[in-house]
């Protein structure tokens, strides 16, 4: 089956979670040896990216998000006070694609697949679509 889904429960307003192992499990369940895996989140206030999962870098990413979008006078906040989450998600995007080799996600030594919660806590859905080579 080329598309797999899983859920992640977040516990903070802003939070970064390493989802690499769950993505790898989904890739394994798809049964594809070579190709691409597209990891996406069907949400407007959540994003995924690839980078190192080092505690200082994770804290720096959360600080950068606050510096880029925090403190603005955003019109959307009149509705539900989460404009910053929408804006950051729009800048970062809701998906990443990674190559598959030997049935494994092919990442660099320090690379991990990370989910950023921007408007939690919530339960988030992650979709892994595998495209065979």
Q: Contact at 8 Å (CB) between 126 and 29?
A: no
Neighbours of 89 (CB within 10 A): 22
Per the domain annotation, does 75 fall within a domain? no
Instruction: Kindly report the CATH number assigned to the domain that includes residue 16.
Output: 2.60.120.460
Per the domain annotation, does 20 fall within a domain? yes
Q: Write the Ramachandran bin of 93: left for phi over 0, alpha for psi from -120 to 50, otherwise beta.
A: left
> Quick one: what percent of the chain has pLDDT higher than 90?
91
Per the domain annotation, does 51 fall within a domain? yes
Per the domain annotation, does 23 fall within a domain? yes
Q: Contact at 8 Å (CB) between 130 and 56?
A: no
The structural domain count of the chain equals 1
Summarize pLDDT for 33-47 with one digit per residue, the tens. 999 999 999 999 999
Summarize pLDDT for 50-94 with one digit per residue, the tens. 999 999 999 999 999 999 888 889 999 999 999 999 999 999 999
Residue 1: what pLDDT?
Answer: 60
Per the domain annotation, does 9 fall within a domain? yes
What is the pTM assigned to this prediction? Answer: 0.95
3-state secondary structure of 25: helix
Per the domain annotation, does 53 fall within a domain? yes
Range of the domain at 17: 3-70+80-132
Is residue 119 over pLDDT 80?
Answer: yes
């Amino acid at each position: 089956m080329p598309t797999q889904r899983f859920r992640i429960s977040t516990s903070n307003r802003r939070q970064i979670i390493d989802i690499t192992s769950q993505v790898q499990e989904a890739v394994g369940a798809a049964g594809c040896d070579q190709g691409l895996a597209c990891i996406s989140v069907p949400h407007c206030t959540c994003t995924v990216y690839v980078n190192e999962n080092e505690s200082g870098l994770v804290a720096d990413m959360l600080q950068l998000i606050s510096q880029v979008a925090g403190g603005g006078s955003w019109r959307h906040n009149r509705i539900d006070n989460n404009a910053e989450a929408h804006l950051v998600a729009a800048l970062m995007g809701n998906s990443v694609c990674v190559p598959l080799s030997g049935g494994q996600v092919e990442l660099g030594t320090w690379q991990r697949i990370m989910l950023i919660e921007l408007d939690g806590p919530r339960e988030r859905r992650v979709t892994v679509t595998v495209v065979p080579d």
